């Protein structure tokens, strides 16, 4: 006996799946030019870009003694308490052998108890000064993690770069 297709049930299942996936922010992105990749879960981010002197970078080669920024734009999804959010931000730089060159567990400790106005958390950034112990001619990996100290969301970004 042939079973009838249940269009109404299938449609409702697809609508439920759509709402379930849009309610939980999850994404993966990669910039093919710079090699910057980022993924997010629970928190959302519209874009992550590199900049130097206020200009967007289109390279993963950084000059020694320059200060490069990884900018997280359109960040959202932090759990709010009285209009405040509580972000954390860690940074780690490793060499090609995987040795840690630089590491900071949480550069946003000042927001631990006071919090940050929610509208100010929509654009967050991490900067990296290219210098010792990094050496000209060598390559490194720069990893940044942003997380919600009062919730469960996070954004992870990393990229390989060389010093010239």
Structural domain contains residue 116? yes
How many domains does the chain contain in total? 1
Residue 7 lies in a domain: no
Strands 87-95 and 47-52 come out as unpaired
Residue-wise pLDDT for 33-74, tens only, equals: 899 999 999 999 999 999 999 999 999 999 999 999 999 999
Model confidence band, residue 15 (pLDDT cutoffs 50, 70, 90): very low
Residue 80 lies in a domain: yes
pLDDT at residue number 138? 97
- CATH code, 85: 2.60.40.10
Give domain status of residue 4, yes or no: no
Q: Is residue 105 part of a domain?
A: yes
Nearest residue to 120 (alpha-carbon basis) of 110, 128, 130, 106: 110
Q: Band of the pLDDT at 4, cuts 50, 70, 90?
A: low
- pLDDT at res. 5: 47
- For 123-164, write each residue's pLDDT tens digit: 999 999 999 999 999 999 999 999 999 999 999 999 999 999
Q: Is residue 123 part of a domain?
A: yes
Q: What is residue 91's predicted lDDT score, i.e. its pLDDT?
A: 98
**Confidence (pLDDT) at 9:** 45
Per the structure, the complete domain to which residue 68 belongs is given by: 26-163
């Amino acid at each position: 006996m042939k079973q009838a297709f249940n269009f109404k049930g299938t449609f409702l299942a697809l609508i439920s799946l759509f709402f379930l996936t849009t309610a939980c922010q999850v994404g993966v992105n990669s910039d093919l030019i710079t090699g910057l990749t980022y993924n997010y879960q629970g928190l959302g981010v519209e874009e992550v870009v590199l900049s130097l002197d206020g200009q967007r970078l289109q390279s993963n080669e950084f000059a020694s003694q320059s200060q490069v920024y990884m900018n997280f734009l359109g960040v959202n999804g932090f759990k709010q308490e009285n209009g405040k959010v509580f972000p954390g931000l860690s940074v780690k730089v490793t060499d090609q052998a995987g040795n840690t060159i630089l590491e900071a567990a949480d550069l946003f400790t000042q927001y631990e108890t006071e919090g940050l106005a929610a509208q100010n958390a929509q654009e967050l950034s991490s900067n990296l000064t290219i210098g010792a112990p990094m050496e000209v001619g060598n390559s490194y990996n720069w990893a940044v993690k942003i997380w919600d100290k009062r919730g469960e969301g996070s954004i992870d970004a990393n990229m390989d770069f060389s010093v010239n």
